[in-house]
Amino acid sequence: MRVFMEFVDDEEKLAVEKLNEYIEKAKIATSGKAKIKVIGYQVARYEQLNKERTYILAEEVID
């Protein structure tokens, strides 16, 4: 089974920090057998707010 997750920057954490936390939790839950790969990412710039936001799409394969 495949599970897709999206990680997005917010006021508290960056998307990459959220992804790293998820990977660590998945490793613990699966005894190090987690298979997670990044499918894509995008950095969008919001001109009005003068901010950038990162979107990361990841896939976890569950056997």
Residue 57's CATH number: 3.30.1660
Query: Which residue range forms the structural domain that includes residue 48?
Result: 2-61
Question: What string of DSSP letters covers 1-60?
Answer: -EEEEEEE--SS--HHHHHHHHHHHHHHHTTT--EEEEEEEEEEEETTTTEEEEEEEEEE
Residue 13 has pLDDT above 90, yes or no: yes
Q: Specify the long-range contacts of residues 28-31, CB closer than 8 Å, at least 24 apart.
A: none
Question: How many domains is the chain built from?
Answer: 1
What pLDDT digit, counting tens, does each position of 15-43 carry? Answer: 999 999 999 999 999 888 889 999 999 99
- pTM score: 0.84
